[in-house]
Structure 1
Amino acid sequence: MSLHLRPLLGVAALSTSLLLTACGSPSHPAAAISPGVSQSLAGTPGSTATGPVPAPSTMPGMTMSGSAAAVPAAPVAGDAVVTIKGFAFSPAALVVKAGATVTWTNQDTDTHTVTSQGSGGPLTSAALSTGQSYSYRFTTPGTYAYLCTIHPFMTATVTVTK
């Protein structure tokens, strides 16, 4: 039995030695981490990037149309339609007269919502799949900011005049 134990003890000792050697001995310096093509390791040890990493304005692979900062047009006479397409509400700034009904129609492949920003707003659609619509009749003048709760970067306003 002693013949069998010695080789096993030798293997265990050798394994321990290899693990310790591979874990930072001077003969095996730590390998430098380098980013792949179009990657950055800002903020990590050995990084060559400087400054903060800017947050993307859209999710990777997405394009956005429209702008939440669009200048509102003259009030729309009668009812109005807002298109949801390209991860944006179009128009992003709508002006309607009190009593108008606004209908949002999802023309995107992703699901979206129409939800008032803040608490207590009147807009509370269900999740709208492609081709589905949501309507709301505005009776009180004011500016109503809303967003898609699934994609909160999607924002817009409806301004209701007398």
Structure 2
Amino acid sequence: MNRRDILLHGVRLTAVAVLLPPTARKAQAQTAAVVIDNFTFNPPEVKVKIGDTVTWTNHDDIPHTVVSAGKFRSKTLDSDDSFSFTFAAAGDYKYFCSLHPHMTGMIKVE
């Protein structure tokens, strides 16, 4: 704890600053990107932390979706459309394209 005495209009004030160690400061949320191209999710597996957002962007010239049963579901994404989801809980989130079920991916949230 740091103390600093300040004299203001003849009155002595004491200011106290509490500095938190770097590990106690809240980390800022991050964004991870997944590209949909040539009927694949790339990268096929992404590791993020709770509070992070993943954004999928379709670079194919045909529509795709991003679906994790009971967790999230995108609208149909045309070329260059994106879908984002922020992960609030830890776990493994398997997902797929509902139009092309052989397309699969995984988000691991720690």
Identify the structure with the greater strand proportion: 2
Q: Counterpart of 1:145?
A: 94
Which of structure 1's runs of 4+ aligned residues deviate more than 6 A? none
Q: Choose the corresponding residue for 1:155, options 101, 104, 108.
A: 104
Q: Choose the corresponding residue for 1:108, options 36, 39, 60.
A: 60
Q: So what's the TM-score if we normalise by structure 1?
A: 0.49
For residue 160 of structure 1, report the CA deviation from its aligned partner. Answer: 0.2
List alignment gaps of at least 5 residues for structure 2. 1-28
Alignment of 1:24-63 (within 5 A): none
Q: Counterpart of 2:34?
A: 82
Matched residue SS, 2:65 = coil
Identify the structure with the greater helix proportion: 1
For residue 123 of structure 1, report the CA deviation from its aligned partner. Answer: 1.7
C-alpha distance in 2 between matches for 1:116 and 1:140? 14
| Deviations 1:88-134, CA, capped at 9 Å, x for gaps | 000101100110010000000010000014xx2x2200100001000
Q: Counterpart of 1:130?
A: 79
C-alpha RMSD of the superposition:
1.1
List alignment gaps of at least 5 residues for structure 1. 1-76
Residue 50 of structure 2 aligns with an amino acid whose one-letter code is A
C-alpha distance in 2 between matches for 1:110 and 1:91? 19
Residue 105 of structure 1 aligns with an amino acid whose one-letter code is T
Q: Counterpart of 1:94?
A: 46
Residue 103 of structure 1 aligns with an amino acid whose one-letter code is T
State the number of aligned residues. Answer: 82
For residue 147 of structure 1, report the CA deviation from its aligned partner. Answer: 0.2
Q: So what's the TM-score if we normalise by structure 2?
A: 0.72
Which structure would you say has the larger Rg?
A: 1
Seq. identity, %: 44
Pick 1 or 2: higher relative contact order, CA cutoff 8 A, min separation 6: 2
